[in-house]
């Protein structure tokens, strides 16, 4: 699992007038989970997010502009473009990852079969849709329709798990990924999956220098999710 994805927690914080305000603290756009810190979680007013559920659609630009106004601290960083996905779900803690093991179940020509073979009916599978407003609504409606689900898979995208506490949500995503890893290892047993490498890999320092030369301006300007989204678009 690389640094992509985003996490959130619903809390009550105090605004500039000393009022208690329910907020969604969600990972900011442009930071990676691998290196994230407390200050990378801007607080967004939860009632402002939930009000959007009534809408039919919004563009990414409209979401970004709206969320700018919904920040508890106007100077806070920009919240993730997947903020609505977190805010439309009721559990206190939501974790969204792009875990490789789970993606290998969904990034194929029959994701439903692969996912059902590993998770049965515990995990709800959401058909691919470009990340944005409609996907956030799909996810919330799917959970409302299947309240007993343990987790969700966004096909060709990633995982969604949740919990009443951060620990519970974390253990859920680890369980989910471990099940995928075990299933993959089971199918691989005794079989050669890939042939030998044809081109020897460069040393790490040379690889990093090459990557920086190819994409110097991307570093730090986009979160890995945005890079990922542009790669699949």
- Helix spans in 46-165 (H): 46-51, 60-70, 83-87, 100-106, 111-119, 133-145
Distances (CA, A) of 223 to 34, 96, 97, 219, 229: 11, 14, 13, 9, 10
Which range in 16-24, 40-48, 197-205, 222-230 contacts Zn ion by CB under 5 A? 222-230
Number of residues that bind Zn ion (CB under 5 A): 2
CA distance 34 to 15: 29
Nearer to Zn ion, 72 or 106 (CB): 106
Nearer to Zn ion, 179 or 225 (CB): 225
Nearer to Zn ion, 43 or 160 (CB): 160
Which range in 136-144, 153-161, 175-183, 185-193 contacts Zn ion by CB under 5 A? 153-161
Nearer to Zn ion, 42 or 72 (CB): 42
> 3-class DSSP state for residue 152?
strand
Cβ(152)–Cβ(126) below 8 Å: yes
Q: Tell me the per-residue interface mask from 171 to 210 with Zn ion, x by CB under 5 A, - otherwise.
A: ----------------------------------------
| 106 burial level (CB within 10 Å; 0-12, 13-18, 19+) | buried
CA distance 222 to 4: 11
CB of 200 to Zn ion, least distance (A): 33
Nearer to Zn ion, 128 or 188 (CB): 128
CB of 20 to Zn ion, least distance (A): 31
Which range in 37-45, 177-185, 205-213, 217-225 contacts Zn ion by CB under 5 A? 217-225
Closest CA to 157 of 138, 183, 179: 138
**Interacting residues toward Zn ion by CB under 5 A:** 158, 225
């Amino acid at each position: 699992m690389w640094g992509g994805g985003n996490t959130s927690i619903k809390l009550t914080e105090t605004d500039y007038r000393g009022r208690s305000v329910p907020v969604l603290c969600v990972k900011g756009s442009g930071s990676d989970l691998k290196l994230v810190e407390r200050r990378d979680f801007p607080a967004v007013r939860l009632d402002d997010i939930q009000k959007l559920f009534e809408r039919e659609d919004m563009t990414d630009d409209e979401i970004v502009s709206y969320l700018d106004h919904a920040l508890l601290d106007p100077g806070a960083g920009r919240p993730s473009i997947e903020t609505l996905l977190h805010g439309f779900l009721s559990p206190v803690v939501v974790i969204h990852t792009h875990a490789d093991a789970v993606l290998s179940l969904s990034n194929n020509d029959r994701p439903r079969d692969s996912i059902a073979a590993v998770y049965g009916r515990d995990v709800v599978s959401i058909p691919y849709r470009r990340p944005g407003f409609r996907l956030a609504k799909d996810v919330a409606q799917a959970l409302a329709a299947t309240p007993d689900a343990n987790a969700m898979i966004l096909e060709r995208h990633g995982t969604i798990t949740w919990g009443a506490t951060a620990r519970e949500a974390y253990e859920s995503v680890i369980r989910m990924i471990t099940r995928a890893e075990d299933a993959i290892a089971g199918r691989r047993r005794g079989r050669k999956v890939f042939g030998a490498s044809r081109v020897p890999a460069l040393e790490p320092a040379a690889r990093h220098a090459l990557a920086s030369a190819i994409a110097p301006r991307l570093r730090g300007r986009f979160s890995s999710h945005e890079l990922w989204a542009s790669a699949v678009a």
